[in-house]
């Protein structure tokens, strides 16, 4: 059974960089069928797609976040990562990683991790 | 950007009720639409893809319909496990979600 697990700091200071990693188990991140994505959800609010990437390094970023965003992959560890720079309180959210049947929907999700931006 | 608008935002219903949630796209997205269910503190769960295809393992009381700009998610007979928030998501141009519809107990 495919599983995804987010990891990273739960607290980030304003203006600093938010870094998260998603570890995939029960399947290969190098599958030709799938992309791997990040989605976030501010407390009490809806879902926002952040970005998606293919194991080869091809990426799609939300235009509203593109200038601050980097998504990368480490196939040797079956992991992919998110870096969001210059964070503000508006970036406080539960961050989910997910498998994406590209270019369509997200069929497997991690449990999510809350990241709070605060000094 | 393609905007997705769900209605209603909150829906109060009783066990056994037939429930319908609507999702409208700001421009045509053909049938490139998915529906998710989310319970408090949990990740979203895929229910429907391609507007009307039921994901494996999802009960048959869930169904989806529509194309173009108007879509519906129907629960034929509301069960206790169905009280949750439901989101639509388009995948015609990038990926955007509706704001969610909370189904609560009447």
- Taking only the tens place, the pLDDT of each residue in B13-58 is 999 999 999 999 999 999 999 999 999 999 999 999 999 999 999 9
CA distance B9 to B43: 19
What separation in angstroms does the CA of A89 have from each of A62, A93, A103, A118? 18, 9, 30, 7
What confidence score (pLDDT) does residue B36 get? 98
What confidence score (pLDDT) does residue A103 get? 86
Low-confidence stretches of chain A (pLDDT < 70) are none
What confidence score (pLDDT) does residue A102 get? 82
Mean pLDDT of B67-89: 97
What confidence score (pLDDT) does residue A35 get? 94
B10-13/B101-105 β-pairing = parallel
Best A3, A53, A106 residue to mutate vs chain B (most B CBs within 10 Å): A106
Closest residue on chain A to B39 (Cα): A111
A 10 A CB-CB count for A7 gives 14
Best A39, A69, A105 residue to mutate vs chain B (most B CBs within 10 Å): A105
Q: Does A43 touch chain B (CB under 8 A)?
A: no
């Amino acid at each position: 059974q495919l599983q995804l697990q987010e990891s990273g700091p739960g607290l980030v200071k304003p203006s600093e960089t938010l870094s998260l990693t998603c570890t995939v188990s029960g399947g290969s991140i190098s599958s030709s069928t799938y992309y791997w994505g990040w989605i976030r959800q501010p407390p009490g609010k809806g879902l926002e797609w952040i970005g998606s990437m293919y194991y080869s390094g091809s990426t799609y970023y939300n235009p509203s976040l593109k200038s601050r965003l980097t998504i990368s992959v480490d196939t040797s560890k079956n992991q992919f990562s998110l870096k969001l720079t210059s964070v503000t309180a508006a970036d406080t959210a539960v961050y989910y990683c997910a498998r994406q049947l590209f270019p369509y929907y997200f069929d497997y999700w991690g449990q999510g991790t809350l990241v709070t931006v605060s000094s | 950007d393609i905007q997705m608008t769900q209605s209603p935002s909150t829906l109060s219903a009783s066990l056994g009720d037939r429930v319908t949630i609507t999702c409208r796209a700001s421009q045509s997205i053909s049938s490139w639409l998915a529906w998710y269910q989310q319970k408090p503190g949990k990740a979203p769960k895929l229910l429907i893809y391609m507007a009307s295809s039921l994901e494996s393992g999802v009960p048959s009381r869930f169904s989806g319909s529509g194309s173009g700009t108007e879509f519906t998610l129907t629960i034929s007979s509301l069960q206790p496990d169905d009280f949750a928030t439901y989101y639509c998501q388009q995948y015609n141009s990038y990926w955007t979600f509706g704001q969610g519809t909370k189904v609560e107990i009447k």
